[in-house]
Amino acid sequence: MSAPVSALTPAPAKVALPFLPMTRPFVDEATIAGVAEVLRSGQLTTGPQARALEAKLSEYCGGRPVRVFNSGTCTMEIALRIAGIGPGHEVITTPLSWVATSNIVLEVGAKPVFVDVDPVTRNIDLDRIEAAITPATRAIIPVDLSGLPVDRDRLYAIAKKHKLRVVEDAAQSFGSSWKGKHIGTFGDFVSFSFHPNKNITTIEGGALVMNDDREAKLAEQYRLQGVVRTGFDGMEVEVVGGKYNLTDVAARVGLGQLPHLEAFNAKRRELARIYFELLDTPSVRALGLQLPVADFTQTNWHMFQVVLPEERLTIKRAEVMAQLHAAGIGTGIHYPAMHLFKLYRGLGWKDGDFPFAEYTGRNTLTIPLFPAMTRADVVRVVETLTGILKAHQK
């Protein structure tokens, strides 16, 4: 009697899948070669590449003046300084953002005033803004969380009514649009980030879109120690500036990335649609998982974030992340509610002040989304995540 086939044929070895990070930038070979050319040129700091990137970004933003910087944080600080905002002033913003959004308000000596988020969009709740306005209010900093645009019509109607400046924290929404117009082509100050986790990158860096040449010239002064140069040897300093200039090496990366923006964002939309196909089902909805707004016309899908149902789970978010990591899947959190950081508690904020932001901040989970992903990658993420949630239901 012959042995069963299963006894003679070993089971195929389980192949370990490669680690899938939360995000991964793509830099093409032409850009890498271009960076090498810049390095060989000897012109490494701010120069012709930075000016070329500014010109391209200005073209993208409908001809508005654009200046590049070494981060998308200093751009917002400089916008506040240009607007004359400082000690004794208040700036309204959301508690659900990277902490830089409110840190820059403190940096100029003003006071951040938080307004809770809308639980569906997770952006600042525009219905709550006017109640937070006082005689000291000078500006609003809205954040397009995950690239989903804040309602620009309502935002600017409020700003106009109360004579407030707007500094759009569009760090996550480069390539997003509002009613057919790219973010950055209209409005007041618009700040973009080109960090490696953004839709295009300059490694580190950012850009500020302004209203006129006067603001652009002042931004240049704040960007580099307040210096104004004339002729071969003329130098004057009129304001206190910083060291915020973007190098030509970084700018060359941005010049290589910019032509890919539409293709990158199209792929992100495609992947987001697959996530919705697999997650927006009765069985997954029954788990209590909250999905983002399914916007496929205006959002650049910078991130795909779900909100875990803490009240239905026997484990916390950190354990969900740990189990996903053990399965070879990277995740992130964007963001903890910033008013609960020690720095802001010291300014008087406390638990319960902004319940929607606090719940989302405790439970939001950013899952992988970047252009090099495949449908199989999305399936893998969904199957692993839902398996963990099903195994830990109360």
Positions marked active-site: 198
CA atoms within 13 A on the CB side of 316: 5
290, with CB counted inside 10 A (0-12, 13-18, 19+), is middle
Yes or no: say if 245 and 51 are a contact pair by the CB < 8 Å rule: no
Yes or no: say if 141 and 114 are a contact pair by the CB < 8 Å rule: no
- Give the list of residues 6+ apart from residue 308 with CB closer than 8 angstroms, or none: 289, 317, 320, 363, 364, 365, 389
191: left (phi over 0), alpha (psi -120 to 50) or beta: beta
CA atoms within 13 A on the CB side of 190: 30
Residue 212 CA to residue 199 CA, distance in Å, equals: 27
Sign of torsion over alpha carbons 372, 378, 380, 384 = positive
Beta strands at 66-69 and 189-193: parallel, antiparallel or unpaired: unpaired
Strand locations in 65-187 (E): 66-69, 90-93, 111-114, 137-141, 165-169, 177-178, 181-182
Distances in Å between the Cα of 376 and the Cα atoms of 25, 283, 383 are: 19, 20, 10
Distances in Å between the Cα of 202 and the Cα atoms of 33, 206, 340 are: 15, 8, 31
| DSSP conformational letter for 346 | T
Residue 120 CA to residue 156 CA, distance in Å, equals: 21
Residue 68 CA to residue 200 CA, distance in Å, equals: 14
Residue 202 CA to residue 193 CA, distance in Å, equals: 9
Residue 358 CA to residue 186 CA, distance in Å, equals: 32
